[in-house]
Structure formats: structure tokens, C-alpha cells
Chains A and B, each alone.
Chain A
Amino acid sequence: MDRDATADVNAPHSMGTTIVGVTYNGGVILGADSRTSTGLYVANRASDKITQLTDNVYICRSGSAADSQIVSDYVRYFLHQHTIQLGQPATVKVAANLVRLLAYNNKNMLQTGIIVGGWDKYEGGKIYGIPLGGTILEQPFAIGGSGSSYLYGFFDQAWKDGMTKEEAEQLVVKAVSLAIARDGASGGVVRTVTINSEGVTRNFYPGDQLPLWHDEVEAHNSLLDILNASNPEPMST
């Protein structure tokens, strides 16, 4: 690959997306926005960045859509074979380490940051962050993508250990929503996936139902509705 050898090695690559994964007492919750951009154009405003690897392990994808898709396809394939050999569901740790192998050994070619989350009967709910370069780190929560820049401070303040499922879900939705508010490369809807001993639940939070943050205003169908509200026509309800 032809790379500029004088590139600033201290500048991290920004990746369009906001992805989040948190553990709670009983499982994990993965969250993501739904914007796929090509340059300044939004190619897909409702993409699904939370991808299934097995019944009990899902990943959040960020960075190059192509790279993250191909990595998840290969890991799904390897995990499928592994599950057959093992005779029982794969553990989250194995899934995460397979992602790491691909990410690390192809580090010069891939541009994708991945959060692996799932539940298995040995360790319960676990989250693994695999940023650019192929480092693998098990964490109580993980954030990734360009939108995550705006969430470091938020999580420093709002994260608590031992949350309930409802608290954790609200935290994830709030976080992704805050990132969407400030990151141009993130937007659309908030998708969440909850994984625990009982199984997997998908949730969907449309853009217009998310809370409003600073300097954002309520949505209306038309100016005319606003005008009519303050100056109702005579003899109208």
C-alpha cells in the first residue's frame, strides 16, 4: 500500500458512526446510530450497525462499512464452525478474539473499530472493545466511532456499575442521542440490542422521538400549524 510515511501518527482516524456497548447486572446492551455516509452524502439513513454473529454474540460496527461487514462475515463463518465442533454456544471471549485476529493481522488494510458484546453461561454479559490496530480490551462499557469523541465526558460522569436493564438501556439511548446531536457523521435512529440469559431483544428509537438537547427545537408539520395555533380563525375549533 502506498502510504505517506510522514503522516502524523498522532492523529487518530475519525469514523462515521456512534457505537456504544454497556454491561449491566445480567447482560449487555449494544447501541448505535443509523447513518452511513459517503463523504457529505448520507447513503443510508436507516442502516443497522449492530450485526449478529451467533445467537448470543452481536457486534457494533464502525469505520469502513465494507471492512466491518467482511470482518463480521468471516467471524460469523468461523464461529459457526467452532460451535459445531464445540457442541455448545461459543463464548463472547472466543468471538472477540477471532475479531482481534482479523483486525490485528490485517491492520495495514482494515479501517474498522468494533465492539463485541454478548452473553454466555460462563462469564455472563461481557463487552470487548477492538479499536484500530487490533488491540483487544475487555471493558465494563465501550464507545466507538467518530461520535464517541463527544461521549467520553458523558460516560465519565454518568456510568455506574451494577445498573438495571432499564437504566442501562436509557443510558445507551441518551448517549447515542447526544452524540448524534453533535457529530455530523452520526444520525438517524437509535438501535439497541439487549442480550442476556433469556435471549436477545431489539429496540428501535426513531429520530423524532429522541429527547431534544441544547439549541434544538420541537418538530412541526408546517409553519402554518404554528401560526394557526396563536391566531385561530374565527369559528374554528
Chain B
Amino acid sequence: MMRTSFAALIIASCILMRAFVKPSPLHTLEMDTLLTSEGDSQRTQYPYVTGTSVIGIKYKDGILMAADMGGSYGSTIRYKSVERIKQVGKHSLIGASGEISDFQEILKYLDELILHDNMWDDGNSLGPKEVHSYLTRVMYNRRNKFDPLWNSLVIGGVKNGHKYLGSVSMIGVNFEDDHIATGFGNHLARPLLREEWREDLSFEEGVKLLEKCMRNLLYRDRSAVNKIQIAKITEEGLTVSQPYSLKTFWIFSAFQNPTVGAEGSW
């Protein structure tokens, strides 16, 4: 209780300082230029802490989304408990790959969006299609300013019985499909999904399919981490699983004796 009121106090004081109260010009200028981004004449950033693939599929009752919990820093796997799938309002899930600081900023934008939506108090609430549309505009407009949010996003959800799954990239490319993947998942997961996805997948089948894709990514994506979360969203509600690890398989005769029959090889 107390903590949220402190947060509100900070937001309030920041808004006050910037909008309503006019303190000394130096003070306002300081706060504004420090707390908000300046207009640089040239601005393409570089990603520092990045998340790898996100996969999403439609299934019988809704949407399933999977991502690992890794935050890479160049070639170092620096963080292993980054939540890359988050809830957005009542009806949607967002999964992100790419720069984590930009994802955190996007979550703040979405917080504000949902807050204002709730403040209308009109019985309506933003669904996944609307959230996707909003994010597409945000990402595309940033791209036009040469100042992208360095992410590939997956938005999924169910509203009024309609399942929705879409993606937006850092340059504003957006589309909707029955199965979506970002990053390495485009190359490794989508072929699997094209073969094995069906409209009437059960929850168990969907999870198994996602796990098959995630295991493949674990073998072949250098920035993958063996700690994943699978999120489910249906008309009834949404759950993000606890983090867990996948078993991997290494006992194959070709692995144990890779150079059998080849003289002088290694």
C-alpha cells in the first residue's frame, strides 16, 4: 500500500516539476534534458544486453508463448533470470527479443496505455490486436527517426473468443500468423511449426511442440540458455509458468564415436 503511494509521489512530483509548477528555468531544463532523451542529429544505437528467440503459437483454447530467460552481453551469457514474457492488460501477452532496456521501456509505455484505458472506466479493455497496432506505430515511428527500439516483439492474446498472434520488428515490420518466432527461431523453429502445427492442438500437444522448438534452439543457438518459461493465455485468463529446464540428449553412437572408420581425422 505504502509503496505504491511512494511510486505515485515520484510520478506526481516529476509531472509537477515538468508541467504545472514552473521552478527556475535552469531546474526545469536540467530535469528535462536529463530525464528525457535529447534530439541527437544521428541516433542508431547498439544493443548491449539482449534476449534471444521468442516463439508463439495458436492452439485450441488460446495462445502459447515460450522464451528462455537469458540476457546476453555480447558473447557472454551475463544474466540467466530475465523474464522476457509479460502480461499486458487483461487479454494479452508480450514476448520480446533484442535489447532488454528497450523492452523495459516498452513495458512502461504499455503500463501507461493500459492505465489510461482503465481510467475511461467504460467496460472496454484493449485487446491483443489493439496492443499490436499501438506497438507497430511506436516501433515504426522510432525507426523513421533512426532511433529504433531494438526489439522483436511477439504479441498474443484472446478477446471475445478471438485468438490473436502477431509480431513487430524493430523496423516496424508487422504481421499476424498462426505461429510466430523471432531471431534464431525464424530459422530453426518456424520450419518445425510449419510441419507440425494444427488448428486444434491441445494444451499438452502445444507445449510439447514448443518444447521441441526450444530444445532445438538450445542445441543450435549460441545465446540460448537452458531455463525457459512457457506462457498460456485463454479467454479465462493467463499464466506464465515457473522457470524450468529441458533435458538434452547426447547419447548417439555418432556422437560417441565421431571418427569411426576415418583414418587420421579428428
Q: Mark A18-62, 1 if CB is under 8 A from B, else 0.
A: 000000000000000000000000000000000000000000000
Determine if B79 and A137 form an interchain contact, defined as CB atoms under 8 angstroms apart.
yes
Determine if A85 and B13 form an interchain contact, defined as CB atoms under 8 angstroms apart.
yes
Q: Identify the closest chain B residue to A105 (Cβ).
A: B37
**Chain A contact residues: over half helix, strand or loop, or mixed?**
loop
Which A residues between 152 and 195 are near B, CB-CB below 8 angstroms?
152
Whether A131 touches B35, Cβ cut-off 8 Å, given contacts A94-B10, A108-B40, A137-B71, is no
Is A134 interfacial (CB 8 A cutoff)?
yes
Closest-CB distance, B265 to chain A (whole angstroms): 31
Please give, as numbers and ranges, the residues of chain A lying within 8 Å of B82 by CB-CB distance.
137
Inter-chain CA distance A7–B45, complex, in Å, is: 11
Is B42 interfacial (CB 8 A cutoff)?
yes
Please give, as numbers and ranges, the residues of chain A lying within 8 Å of B71 by CB-CB distance.
135, 137
Is B6 interfacial (CB 8 A cutoff)?
yes
Determine if A82 and B13 form an interchain contact, defined as CB atoms under 8 angstroms apart.
yes
Whether A12 touches B9, Cβ cut-off 8 Å, given contacts A102-B34, A131-B73, A136-B104, is no
Determine if A135 and B35 form an interchain contact, defined as CB atoms under 8 angstroms apart.
no
Determine if A10 and B13 form an interchain contact, defined as CB atoms under 8 angstroms apart.
no
Please give, as numbers and ranges, the residues of chain B lying within 8 Å of A101 by CB-CB distance.
34-35
**In the complex, which of the residues A5, A136, A137 contacts B44, with contact meaning CB atoms closer than 8 Å?**
A5
Closest-CB distance, B8 to chain A (whole angstroms): 12
Determine if A134 and B46 form an interchain contact, defined as CB atoms under 8 angstroms apart.
no
Is B194 interfacial (CB 8 A cutoff)?
no
Name 23 A/B residue pairs within 8 A (Cβ), A-sorted.
A1-B40, A1-B42, A3-B42, A3-B44, A10-B74, A12-B73, A74-B34, A86-B9, A91-B6, A94-B10, A100-B101, A102-B35, A104-B105, A107-B101, A108-B45, A133-B99, A133-B100, A135-B48, A135-B71, A135-B100, A136-B101, A136-B104, A149-B76
